[in-house]
Amino acid sequence: MRVALAVGGGIAAYKAAELARTLQEHDCAVQVIMTAAAQQFVQPLTFAALTGRKVITGLWADQSAGDQTLSSAVEHIRVAQDNEVLVVAPATADLLAKFANGLADDFVSTLYLAFTGAVVLAPAMNSNMWAHPATVSNVRRLRERGHVIVEPGEGLLACGTTGPGRLAEPEQIAAAVMALKLPQTARPLQDFEGETLVITAGPTREPLDPVRYISNRSSGKMGYALAEAALARGANVVLVSGPVALPPPEGARVIHVGTAREMRTAVMDNLEEATIIIKAAAVADYQVTTVPQQKMKKTATRMSLELDPTPDILAEVGQKKGDRLLIGFAAETQNLTDEARRKMKTKHCDIVVGNLVNQENTGFESDDNEVVLVLSTGEVIPLPRASKRIVAGQVLDHALRLRLALHAAGAS
């Protein structure tokens, strides 16, 4: 589900950050919009870090710099078209009045008028403001339009009084969103339509003899999540998969491989058709120089193995990528950002996704991940812990943003 989350100006704005995370845990793609008043309580950077997406903060690109262009002024139409649900939390008395009476003087109110999908409003305000006849009338009018009102709770308010007006808990608001009956014909966001992604996933296995091999703990879950997210957004996907215990994503062309050499061949065979390459696989770094034809027998003496480096697929693709976007992964146990930067430069990547694999409940074999994105533009973007499916969507968001920026730079 694609959700536009509009954050109004009130002390309860901090709860909207929890709401954004909760919606993501329900596999929602969240675009945050903040009123000017909301930014006095919570910084946009908080929501950008949580969602991995740019936060919309006003109608104009940069009023402080005098850049009053129309690039942002018409963006409310795109946001209205791209999302299925508009959630407003906290919905202040001011926003409720604007919505009820059709006023439009900022991004949130103009977005509301342009929005044709479902609307969920979570009011929060002083008890007297909530009980005022004007607010009661506005809420009644909004209900009559079919909007869902998540009633405020009772308790101690920021103003020091006790009564109704507290923003409902994030789980309660998210439950109201997930209970919506959306049209089955709603077309998902297809912003990767026309793109062909070659994605590698899982480990490789380098044989020691006919029955043993060198490998690693990669489950392939991150690469498969990327493939599923790209397919859902309209991409053609070629998934080059090492040995994993995961069902193939429906719609992907899956190439099963075992060794690093086999993975290298599959990637290079499909490089020409690719527009984006994502190397999420944990490729073994070494292989046995000479693999015996028969099983090695155990003896009481120490045994040494002679190992050679496996093909460096990422580096080779980096040399041949042309104008394709190349995304690499760096699984580290220390110095994460520095190692991700080094890998980006030496392998000629556009983005490197770094994650610490020695953390509990993230990385290898887990369902969650916590990563940092290092971009060729110099940006370093931490993505907080979330399901690998959510992280996959955030990685794709930044890939598309970088691709558009590189195209714009090339055109100028």
Average pLDDT of the segment spanning 386-393: 86
What confidence category does residue 162 fall into, taking pLDDT thresholds of 50, 70 and 90? Answer: low
Q: Is 239 in contact with 253 (CB distance < 8 Å)?
A: yes
Is the pLDDT at 409 greater than 80? The verdict is no
pLDDT band at 332 (very low <50, low <70, confident <90, very high): confident
Task: Indicate the burial class of 289 (C-beta count within 10 angstroms; 0-12, 13-18, 19 or more).
Answer: exposed
Share of the chain above pLDDT 90, in %: 64
Asked if 47 and 38 touch (Cβ cutoff 8 Å), the reply is no
Query: Which range among 123-127, 309-313, 363-367, 393-397 shows the weakest confidence by mean pLDDT?
Result: 363-367
pLDDT digits (tens, 9 = 90+) for 2-25: 899 999 998 899 999 999 999 998
Q: Which amino acid is at 195?
A: E
Q: What pLDDT band is residue 138 in, cutting at 50, 70 and 90?
A: very high
- 401 pLDDT band, cuts 50/70/90, is confident
**CA 282 to CA 328: how far, in whole Å?**
10
Domain 196-288+305-411, second-level architecture: 3-Layer(aba) Sandwich (3.40)
Beta bridge pairs of residue 352: 328, 374
- Sketch the domain layout of the chain as residue ranges: 2-178, 196-288+305-411
pLDDT at 159: 59
Whether 63 shows a pLDDT value over 80: the answer reads no
Q: Is the pLDDT of residue 67 over 60?
A: no
Fold (topology level) of 2-178: Rossmann fold (3.40.50)
Confidence bin at 389 (pLDDT 50/70/90): confident
Give DSSP secondary structure letters for 100-159.
HHT---SHHHHHHHH--SEEEEEE---HHHHHSHHHHHHHHHHHHTT-EE---EEEE-TT
Question: Quick one: average pLDDT of 229-248?
Answer: 94
Residue 185, pLDDT score:
47
Report the amino acid identity of residue 151: E
Write out the catalytic residue numbers: 159
Top pLDDT among 187 and 249 is at: 249
